[in-house]
């Protein structure tokens, strides 16, 4: 069967997550408007800098629980990279839907509110639910869907 749009874009977010250089969570995200992908992003070290695959995970070494002390992490979150890529390439995210493999942390949620997205779709839950109140107050629609099947279907 042909996947619906939400499943289709969530599958693409999973492929984007394969580029992640985080040892804890491989997160992928994309911004979509009018059925077109605007930008993508994954979590990892700033461009050109050493990443956790090379250096090891400082948060892991210090025993810092997921969802806390984000400033210790050397990675930029996938949602942040979606916004950064949009800024670098002159792409307006207003009214876009963000598809992401995980729900956002509080900081990413605030950035997405300011980017004026209209919808956020995910299947994975990050260890921080404070985004829900922010999104509700900002009028951002949220959808937490089942994880899409990872096999690729063709009509051969």
Active site residue 94: no
- Longest C-alpha distance within the chain, in Å? 50
Rounded to an integer, what distance in angstroms lies between the CA atom of residue 135 and that of residue 144?
Answer: 13
DSSP string, 94-143: TT-EEEEEEPPPHHHHHHHHHTT--EEEEEE--S--THHHHHHHHT-EEE
Q: Which of 7, 71, 79, 94 is catalytic?
A: 79
Tokens of 4: 């619906």
Contacts (Cβ under 8 Å, ≥6 apart) of 144: 103, 122, 123, 125
Tokens of 50: 């050493």
Alpha carbon distance, N-terminus to C-terminus of the chain: 12
Catalytic residue ranges: 79
């Amino acid at each position: 069967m042909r996947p619906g749009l939400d499943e289709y874009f969530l599958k693409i977010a999973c492929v984007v997550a394969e580029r992640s250089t985080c040892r804890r969570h491989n997160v992928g995200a994309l911004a979509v408007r009018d059925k077109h992908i605007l930008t993508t992003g994954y979590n990892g070290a700033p461009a050109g800098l050493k990443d956790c695959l090379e250096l090891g995970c400082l948060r892991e070494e210090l025993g810092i629980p997921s969802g806390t002390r984000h400033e210790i992490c050397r990675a930029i979150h996938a949602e942040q990279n979606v916004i950064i890529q949009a800024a670098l390439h002159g792409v307006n995210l207003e009214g876009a839907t963000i598809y992401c493999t995980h729900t956002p942390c509080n900081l990413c949620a605030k950035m997405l509110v300011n980017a004026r997205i209209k919808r956020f779709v995910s299947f994975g839950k990050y260890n921080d639910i404070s985004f829900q109140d922010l999104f509700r107050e900002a009028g951002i629609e949220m959808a937490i869907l089942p994880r899409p099947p990872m096999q690729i279907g063709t009509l051969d």
